[in-house]
Every structure is written in C-alpha cells, then in structure tokens.
Amino acid sequence: MGLFSKMFGTKVTSDKTAVEPGEGDFIAALSMQLRGELEPALTAYLSIAEELPDHTLAPFFAAAVKAGKGNTAEAAESLRLLSGQISQLGETISRVITTELVARLRDEPKVISIPAVAEIVVSLGDLLKGDGFVQESAVCFEIAAGLVPEHAHVLHKLGDTLHDLRIYDYAESVLLRALQCAPNHWGTLYTYAVLLQDLGRNEEAIAYYEKAVTYDPDHVNCQNNYGAALLRTNRLEEALAHCTVAAGLDPASAFVKVNLGNIYLLMQEYETARNFFAEAISLNDKLASAYFGLGSVEQSLGSDPALVQELYLKALEINPSICEAHHSLGNLLAADGKPEALSHFSAAARLNNNLKDLHADFGNACLQLGRQEEALEHLRTALQQSPDDVMLREMVATMEAEHHV
C-alpha cells in the first residue's frame, strides 16, 4: 500500500500494530454503523476520539458517517488531518487503517465481516470522489483493497482513481491484479485500455478495447476511444466504423464529432471533416481539439492563413498544452517569415521533444530567419530522431562543412 507514501514521501517503518484501549467500544460503534444506526455510531466514534487522541480507526469511520450524511468536505478534511497525524510517525494512513482493522476484526469474525467493513470504506471513497476529493477517495479504495485484496471491483475502483491522479505505474499494477482476479471485468478492461492509450501504447490498448466492446457494444466512450486508438495506428476504416457506432449511440457527443473529423481529415475528405469539427464546436465551444482540427482542415483547403492562425490560437487559448497546435502554428508563421514562429516551435519541443518532424521544421525556420547555429542544432536533433533520412543527413553535412564543424 503506497499511495500516501508516493504523494507525501512518508515511509512505512513497521508492521506492528499497537492494540489501544477502547477496542470494545470501537467494535460496538462499528457494529452500529453496519446496522445503519449512524447517529449513535458517530457519537461513539467522537467519544472514543476525544478520550483517545491517538486512536486512528474512530476518526476514520466517523468521517465515513459524516460523508454519508452529505458532509464530504468535512470528511475529507478529517482524513487529511488523520493522515498528517499518522505521517508524523513515519507511517501511511492506508497502511495503518488496514493493519489495525485486520488486527481488531481478526478476533470478531462472528460479529463483524471484513467484506462488510470494506463496503463502508468503498462507499466513503465513492462519496468523496463524487464530490471531487479524488486523492482522499484513492486512499479509501486502497484501504478497501487491503481488506479484500481479491475483489476485482474494489481493485478496479483503486486503479481507476489512480489513473485519474496520473499515478500510472501504480494504477497499471492494480488494474493488472484486478484482471488476474476477474479477466472479464468490464470496468477494468475499459480503464486499462484508456490508461494504455494515455501512455501511447495504442496497440496494447486496442486489444483491451476489442474485448471490452464485445461485452458492452453500447458504451459510447468505449466505442469512441477504441476508434481513437485505431486512428492513432492509422487503421482509418476500422476507426471510422467504431466512431460511427459511437455517433449513433450519442449524436450529441462533441468528442465523437472530433474523432470523426480527425479520421476524415486523414482520409483527405476535407469538407466532411470540416463539417464534423464545426458540429463539435457548436456542441462545445470550449473544445480545443475541435478548433485545432478545424484549423488543420482550413489549412489543407488553402483557406485564408489569418483564419487558420485564428483557429490555432483559439485552440491554444483553451489548452496551451497541445504540442501539435504549437507545431502547426509555428509552420504557418514560419511560412510568412515571422519570428514568433520560433516561440511556438520551442513550446512544442518543451511539451514533446520527440514530435514527428518538429526539429526538422524548427531548424528550417531558423535557417529562414538567419539563425544558422540554432538551425544546425535542431537539424542535428532531427537527424538523431530520423537517422535514415538521406536528405536531412546531406543537409546537416553541408551545414557542418560550411561552419567547419
């Protein structure tokens, strides 16, 4: 269990769990909570926490009751305070709560079921996540997974939330564990496919989307994301088939329209692509990818460069992290000999230094603007990335000879 150690750098130092006074009171309170007697349970938890300031389980389950009553912000704050208190001892909240629960419940099998307690913890995680407390919810799911480590549903919730937090390595290990427990668990198949796609591992993602869509062919996002993964591997006809299914399932999805626009753009059916991007913008005028796609279409159609520039700038205004938009805008400005092109090439390189053709275009723009040394630097990088490019190799050799390098 490593979520809070990953987030806050705390270190697990011991497996020992001290048995505190008030154990019987805690078990009684937990029994009340399991029976749905929430007010008496909360009163008991608060009383234990007041009498025993170092008690960890009472404030945790008090937070669960508070969240169940709609006070998720207060519950999240309670967990943060508890985590801080525990981290001062060199421990993590997820480890301490899990080990103490197992220790206390081991001798109470006829009174309290560990899976039933795990359901309380999962419910707390669901409530927290639903109200935007994603880190806190991940800790709850991690605790629940520690209590019922073979439950694929719980492991999926943990893996999905870790993916939301972009803790990719940990998320992948949890999701793979869930698939070991239940190879056909739809949620895990889908979430793992999305994670692989986010990591650029599209061929792997496609295999999981293929299986997921077999179990639920009517899931819009699954069909659409499957199509997007196929698009990234240039399997355009297959991508079109799945995104068309997605469009039939949800005609008002702007994200589906964008994918269809991108497919038709690569198929060079520019008018159709233009229509899909325009429809996407009409459905969601804050969708950066739609403006970028429309800009690409207009540029391909030879439209007014001012219109193309406006669309690229609009995309970057909404989302400055689209490296392809910076690259395309850099090329557009460089074609007019505008020095501001270089700032967009630089931005693209910061976001993705391995973007196809970026350094070659960057180098050519520098050449055009009379910046020979910078041009040579970028063209060398381009050659390192594409060592079989004969023209690029000859260009670099010529420049090096001219500069006596």
Closest by Cα among 337, 371, 368, 332 to 348? 332
- From the list 392, 394, 332, the residue with the least C-alpha distance to 363 is 392
**pLDDT for the residue numbered 405:** 55
Task: Compute the distance between CA of residue 392 and CA of residue 169 in angstroms, rounded to an integer.
Answer: 37
Indicate the burial class of 168 (C-beta count within 10 angstroms; 0-12, 13-18, 19 or more).
Answer: middle
Structure confidence at residue 260 (pLDDT) = 99
**Contact indicator for 312, 329 with CB cutoff of 8 Å:** yes
Domains and CATH numbers, the chain: 1-148 (1.25.40.10), 149-251 (1.25.40.10)
Q: Yes or no: say if 64 and 88 are a contact pair by the CB < 8 Å rule.
A: no
Q: What are phi and psi of 35, to 5 degrees?
A: -85, 0
What was the pLDDT predicted at 5? 44
Radius of gyration of the chain (CA): 27
- Taking the model in full, what pTM does it have? 0.86
DSSP letter, residue 56: S
What local confidence, expressed as pLDDT, does residue 15 receive?
Answer: 43
CB distance 246 to 263 below 8 Å: no
- Angle in degrees, 0-180, between the axes of helices 186-198 and 152-164, rounded to the nearest 10: 20
What is the pLDDT tens value at each position of the chain, 405 positions in all?
Answer: 444 444 333 333 334 343 344 456 899 999 999 999 999 999 999 999 999 888 999 999 999 999 999 999 999 999 999 999 999 989 999 999 999 999 888 876 667 889 999 999 999 999 999 999 999 999 999 999 999 999 999 999 999 999 999 999 999 999 999 999 999 999 999 999 999 999 999 999 999 999 999 999 999 999 999 999 999 999 999 999 999 999 999 999 999 999 999 999 999 999 999 999 999 999 999 999 999 999 999 999 999 999 999 999 999 999 999 999 999 999 999 999 999 999 999 999 999 999 999 999 999 999 999 999 999 999 999 999 999 989 989 898 988 888 765
How far is Cα 335 from Cα 339, in angstroms, rounded to an integer?
10
Residue 285 vs residues 51, 282, 336: alpha-carbon distances, Å: 56, 6, 29
DSSP states of 236-271: HHHHHHHHHHHHHH-TT-HHHHHHHHHHHHHTT-HH
Stretch (H or E) spanning 278: helix 270-283
Within 10 Å of residue 289's Cβ, how many Cβ atoms?
A: 22
Question: What's residue 112's pLDDT?
Answer: 85
What is the token pair recorded at 330? Answer: 């850099």
DSSP characters over 60-105: HHHHHHHHHTT-HHHHHHHHHHHHHHHHTTT--HHHHHHHHHHHHH
